[in-house]
Chains A and B, each alone.
Chain A
Amino acid sequence: MSDAILSARGLKKTFLSGDRRIEVLRGVDLAVGAGETVAIRGESGSGKSTLLNLLAGLDAPDAGTLAWDGSPDTGAARRVTFLGIVFQSFYLIPELDALQNVLMAARIRKAPASAEMRRARTLLARVGLAERADHLPAHLSGGERQRVAVARALMNSPRLILADEPTGNLDEQTGGAIIDLLLGLSAETRTTLVLVTHNAAHAARCSRQLMLHGGRFA
């Protein structure tokens, strides 16, 4: 796919566990187009999170190539604007309120001006947390924290959102609401979404599903 936002070829990753070499990924090929929503499913230990870390540029593959929008530059500086990541464990900074957590993504890019402040407030309103902007993470529920994390992922208007089991720590109903939010925002902003999930129902709502098995897509 020549106009792929995300393309990976022959990604391999091996971990050492004591004397044992565990081949987690054995040559993964993937191409995701602009605006596409792709679900990656697989059993526990199938390498979904490892693949997502490679796709996010957080870890280096042992072999294979990765390109974001056709460019092999997947460094930290480019990640700031190209990519938004949503984690299973939210990872909010406990000292910052919801608004400042969302703004942190913008701060890392540059010192936020009033435009960024307005966007952060708009995003919090969009995820239904306008009234809780000044609340610390400790005072938010799990679902609310994940919604803050979603807003943070969208703060820099990324081309691609990678979501790693975003509903893993939430109950069924709250998890469903988060998936609604992610898919809704992806559609609104025409942002590509790669969703790693166990949940077949959530995966079914994406435009494409991929099953990771034995270190490769089945």
Chain B
Amino acid sequence: MPWYFYLALKQLFPTGRRFPFFTAISVLSVCLGVMLLVVVLAVMGGFGFQIRRMIVDTEGEIQIKAQGLIGDYRSVVKRVQAVPGVAGATPYAAGILMVQYENKPAFPQMRGLDMASVENVVSLGRFVTAGSLDALDDDSVVLSEGLAESLGIPVGATLEIYTPLMLVQRDGGVILPHSVKVAGVLRIGHQQLDSSTVYCTLRLAQDLYGLARDVHGVNVRVQPGANEDDVAARINAILPPNTRAFSWMDSFADFLTVLRLEKNMMMFVLLFVVLVAAFLTMSLLLVLVLKKTREIGLLGALGASRRQIAFCFCLQGVGIGVVGTAAGLALGFTVVRFRNDIVHAITRLTGGQEMMARFYQFSELPSHIETRDLVVIVVAALVLSTLAGIVPALLAARLKPVEALRSE
């Protein structure tokens, strides 16, 4: 090991002695900066990842929509299923309902599912928390957990449904609701879907909205490993001109762009924390150079070159960067691992748990960290720490041995 490497390590981490104060402060500052970046980017990434999961889990990776309604949907589904990369396709009808239970009204989203093909695209069965999806027929519905709780309706109870179509058809008479039984309750884990959604059969949805045999769209699941944009392009090639297939990223392009922009802005702003840590490291290394002036003179007297002396101090900046980054990553991943415990503890103290779920759409704080983000964090921390070591290193290298030895 070259002497400058050895001495840099010894000055940073002396054996058999307390961790030097300046090393501890420098490492801690880099560590906190890196930790902050990891946690924030993981949570920001988690929001995007969670939204993808929510969309894909409930609608598949691709949605087919027409300018109006899709007429011969069976033919569309059959052709789409033959496209390479498609794992399954299912039609759907969607709209808004008014529901009422014991004079308590609500205005949930309706989702009409083709029970014969829905499991090829969306495995809703795994989200059921009460009752059963198998019990769903043309006279029953499955409610999202939040809706069932807000109405106070149990599984097996009867729910009254009103649709906008009834207002058109009333001809001055009394509007009579459509009565259905609650076959089950499900919880997807996304606040918006869980708070107010009614799932019913496609036929019931078609009846409620007067769609006859038409549907609003077709959801498509792609095969594992297939690129959803490529598959969407292949589907578009066989669809009639007024019908288009959109990947989930196309459907939410604006939202995803905003999310990505927010994440990049957060990274940019938080990199300044690492920059401040680098300045702290630099100032502490400058103090170290002043403190070690006579030792620098000694090294010169023993025959060390200026470049070697510069390396010795620059390597200390690198060492602080490496240890601080490693500690920051470890701490960051630990915080991410226990993020929900931490958030729950804070919200328990502040009493804002429900508000957080309502505001952020997720009942748990999501996290997802991309390799690209980790690489940016690590490279930025290491580069800034190295740069922080260069100024003190140049100062040390400029010292003349004879003057350094004479210094008080």
Whether, in the assembled complex, A107 has its beta carbon less than 8 Å from a beta carbon of chain B, the answer is yes
A77 CA / B305 CA spacing, docked (Å)? 8
Q: A104 contacts B302, CB within 8 Å?
A: yes
A109 to B2: give the CA distance in the assembly, Å: 9
B255: Cβ under 8 A from any A Cβ: no
Taken together as a complex, chains A and B put the C-alpha atoms of A80 and B299 apart, in Å, by 10
Q: Is the CB of B402 within 8 A of A89?
A: no
Q: Which residues of chain B are within 8 angstroms of A93 by Cβ–Cβ distance?
A: 7, 10, 295, 298
Bound CA span A87–B300, Å: 13
Complex Cα spacing A95 to B297, Å: 16
A97 CB to nearest B CB, Å: 8
Among the stretches A51-59, A175-183, A208-216, the one at the interface with B is A51-59
Given that A59-B402, A91-B294, A93-B295 are known contacts, is A76 also in contact with B300, CB under 8 Å in the complex? yes
B3 beta carbon closer than 8 Å to chain A? yes
B100 within 8 A of A: no
The residue in chain B whose Cβ has the minimal distance to the Cβ of A155 is B302
- With most chain B CB atoms within 10 A of its CB, the pick from A53, A56, A109 is A53
Instruction: Write out the residue numbers on chain A whose beta carbons fall within 8 Å of the beta carbon of B10.
Output: 93, 95-96, 100
Residue of A nearest to B3 (CB): A107
Does B166 sit within 8 A of A, measured CB to CB? no
When chains A and B are docked, how far (Å) is the Cα of A109 from the Cα of B10?
A: 18
Determine the chain B residues whose CB is within 8 A of the CB of A85 once the complex forms. Answer: 301-302
How many residues of B sit at the interface, in one of the four size bands? 20 to 34
Name the residue on B nearest A153 (C-beta): B302
What residues on B are CB-neighbors of A77 within 8 Å?
A: 303, 305
> Is B401 in the interface zone, CB < 8 Å from A?
yes
Residue contact B303 to A79, C-beta cutoff 8 Å: yes
Is B361 on the interface with A (CB-CB < 8 A)?
no
**By CB atoms of chain A within 10 A, which of B2, B303, B308 has the most?**
B303
Q: How far is the CA of A95 from the CA of B308 in the complex (A)?
A: 18
| Chain B residues whose CB sits within 8 angstroms of the CB of A111 once the complex forms | 1-3
Chain A 131-167 near chain B by CB (<8 Å), digits 1 or 0: 0000010000000000000001000000000000000
A153 to chain B, nearest CB (A): 9
Does B304 sit at the interface, judged by CB under 8 A?
A: yes
- The chain B residue with its CB closest to the CB of A106 is B3
Bound complex: CA A202 to CA B16 (Å): 38
Of A59, A83, A108, A136, the residue contacting B299 (CB under 8 A) is: A108
Chain A residue, CB-CB nearest to B9: A95
Evaluate contact between A91 and B303: CB separation under 8 angstroms. no
In the complex, what residue of chain B is closest to A50 when comparing beta carbons? B402
Tell me whether A91 and B402 are in contact in the complex, defined as CB-CB below 8 angstroms, given that A107-B6, A108-B3 are known contacts: no
A190 to B138, CA, bound (A): 109
- Would you call A76 and B405 a contact (CB within 8 A)? no
List residues 100-114 of chain A with CB under 8 A from any CB of chain B.
100, 104-105, 107-109, 111
Compute how far the CA of A93 lies from the CA of B297 in the bound complex, rounded to whole angstroms. Answer: 11
B16 partner residues in chain A, CB cutoff 8 A? 136
Q: Which residues of A contact B3 (CB under 8 A)?
A: 104, 107-108, 111
In angstroms, Cα B7 to Cα A96, docked, is 8
Give the contacting residue for A108; candidates B295, B302, B405; CB below 8 A.
B302
Q: Is B11 part of the binding interface, using a Cβ–Cβ cutoff of 8 Å?
A: yes
Q: How far is the CB of A203 from chain B (nearest CB, A)?
A: 23
- Given A93-B7, A96-B10 in contact, is the A80-B401 Cβ separation under 8 Å? no
Minimal beta-carbon separation of A155 from chain B (angstroms): 9
Docked CA distance A107–B3 (Å): 5
A residues lining the B interface (CB < 8 Å):
53, 56, 58-59, 76-81, 83, 85, 87, 89, 91, 93, 95-96, 100, 104-105, 107-109, 111, 136, 152
Given A58-B405, A95-B14, A96-B7, 6 additional A-B pairs, CB 8 A: A76-B300, A78-B303, A89-B294, A91-B297, A91-B301, A93-B7
Binding site for A on B (CB under 8 A): 1-3, 6-7, 10-11, 14, 16-17, 294-295, 297-305, 308, 400-402, 405
The 3 closest A-B pairs by CB, nearest first: A80-B303, A107-B3, A91-B298
Between A and B, 21 residue pairs with Cβ closer than 8 Å are: A58-B400, A58-B401, A58-B405, A76-B304, A77-B303, A78-B303, A79-B303, A81-B303, A87-B301, A87-B405, A93-B7, A93-B10, A95-B7, A95-B14, A96-B10, A104-B302, A107-B3, A108-B3, A108-B302, A136-B16, A152-B302
